[in-house]
Structure 1
């Protein structure tokens, strides 16, 4: 299981709940002014996943007003981007460059370095899944932030849907992961965020060539992860899907310490490795898991697995599932 922290306001005296919630959000996000009509009996819960430099948290709370002011920014700025996937509830957000209404299946972006005023609608509780990632990890010019914050993003299609599915699946059940998987999952999420930002900016020639190149690489990597089970996933099909030549695709991956084929093989081995130690898949034969992830020949899978992890798939499954008996 991943490293996680769970908090519920009902564990505290009624009089302390709202003030503690304000303090908690200041630690998990950034210091904010909060207002609520239910401070006399405030109810909220939060679950935080530690993924190395990236943090993911899900929360349910009564309608609030969140305000990040210039004064608070001057006092403390973790210099991060915050993405919220709205699961339940609606409201509006005001940023220096726009005002946006949000509803379930929307994603919206905020920056800890820019003021905002986010108001939940009145009525029932609000549920979100949120992601925090340091700006330093994203290969986009910092002056592009005003174009990103508050931009409406649908979680039903395209890059927004890809990120939303990953966040939803991750927060639904962490038992299949080990604490050491946290930083790797954080890296995947950061890549998806960078690809989403590049898509939102529609930057074209406004971005430096190296940044455009990196953004394209991130989009391709996200595409590969989405298509890993496709037995016909090859450099040629990947290049065609992104309207580039195969030779240019290979040049993009020169900085990834792996060829395109090697990068695909590593991701498939990682996926198979997770499935092998998933208690829910205990009855699924090893060869079926291998085939699912693009290794139709058992001998090829065993050889690649041993080369990558120093053990056989059978031995790793036995060791990994012992703790779940």
Structure 2
């Protein structure tokens, strides 16, 4: 399991909660001045997920103003870029002559070396942030710095891929081991670099390996979103991403799996989750199988047994049943 550190303001006496929040934010990000209209009885919860030198932190907290001053920068600069995906509420960031506001589904960004004032709306805000050392981004630093403060959406393109990765990771860290952490950190660094490059329209400045990994992740996300489509074939996937069929197969070969095996595995996993869903208890197994791209019940039963060791009916009702 990934290593997590959790902060809950409710664990502290009321009078100490806001100061506790200030301390944890300064330790998590960089030294900060904090203000809040609800400092007298502050609510905050934060999980810090370490992925090597990359960090992800899902959080929810009362209205807060975060200030990074020249004095604090001189005191400590960890040389990191920070991106936050807004899941509930809104906010904004101001620099010396620049200001930007952000809403649901947007990313806002900061640079630990720049003075800034970040504020959130007058309601509980929910976010998931990622911090990446500048040295980890496979992108020229000068170009990366130009992306800070520019509009970045988590709803389309590379931004949607990064948002999906962050939310799925933060919602289910239990599926990963501590040994996975450095690899996940590398994936996140590549996705952040790709989002910066896309924002600046300089994708060609990314290394070939970063472009390859980003494309592979985008294709995998596309497959997972279209598993119910009977027309989900290697040819259709390649066409949707403007790559040749041979290039598509090569991408998956580099990941140690064929395109067909990846699609089949994802469909089986979707069907397995449906079989353990109490809301679908009365849905016939052949109907579930057809929804996940297995129109022939016998074929589905053979594939399911090969993957999970038991037939789907035994899995649904037997001792091997697990929670979805």
Q: TM-score, normalised by structure 1?
A: 0.75
CA shift, 1:130, in A, is 0.8
1:80–1:3 distance in 2 versus 1, CA, 3 Å = same
5+ residue gaps, structure 2, are: none
The residue aligned with 2:89 is 88
Sort the Cα spacing of 1:19 and 1:181 in 2 relative to 1 into closer, same or farther, 3 A.
same
- How many pairs are equivalent? 314
CA distance in 2, matches of 1:86, 1:265: 32
| 1:131 matched residue in structure 2 | 129
**Cα drift, residue 117 of structure 1:** 2.0
CA contact (8 A) 2:89 2:126 kept: yes
Q: Does 1:12 align with 2:12?
A: yes
Provide closer, same or farther for how the CA distance between residues 210 and 289 of structure 1 changes in structure 2, counting only shifts above 3 A: same
Q: Is the 8 A contact 1:194 1:215 kept in 2?
A: no
**1:45 touches 1:60 (CA, 8 Å); kept in 2?**
yes
Output aligned runs, 1:104-143, within 5 Å.
Answer: 104-110=104-110, 114-115=113-114, 117-120=116-119, 124-132=122-130, 140-141=138-139, 143=141
Q: Tell me the residue number matched to 2:73.
A: 70
Partner of residue 302, structure 1: 301
Q: Is the 8 A contact 2:139 2:205 kept in 1?
A: no
Classify 1:278/1:42 alpha carbon distance in 2 versus 1 (closer, same or farther; 3 Å): same
Answer yes or no: is 1:288 the counterpart of 2:283: no
Query: Aligned in 2, Cα 1:299/1:150: closer, same or farther, shift over 3 Å?
Result: farther
Q: 1:19 to 1:222 in 2, by over 3 A?
A: same
Structure 2 distance, partners of 1:315, 1:134, is 46
Q: Distance in 2 between matches of 1:139 and 1:221?
A: 22
Unaligned runs of 5+ in 1: none
Do the aligned partners of 1:192 and 1:218 also contact (CA within 8 Å) in 2? no
Q: What is the CA distance between 1:137 and its match in structure 2?
A: 12
Q: TM-score w.r.t. structure 2 length?
A: 0.75
After alignment, is 242-251 or 58-67 more displaced? 58-67
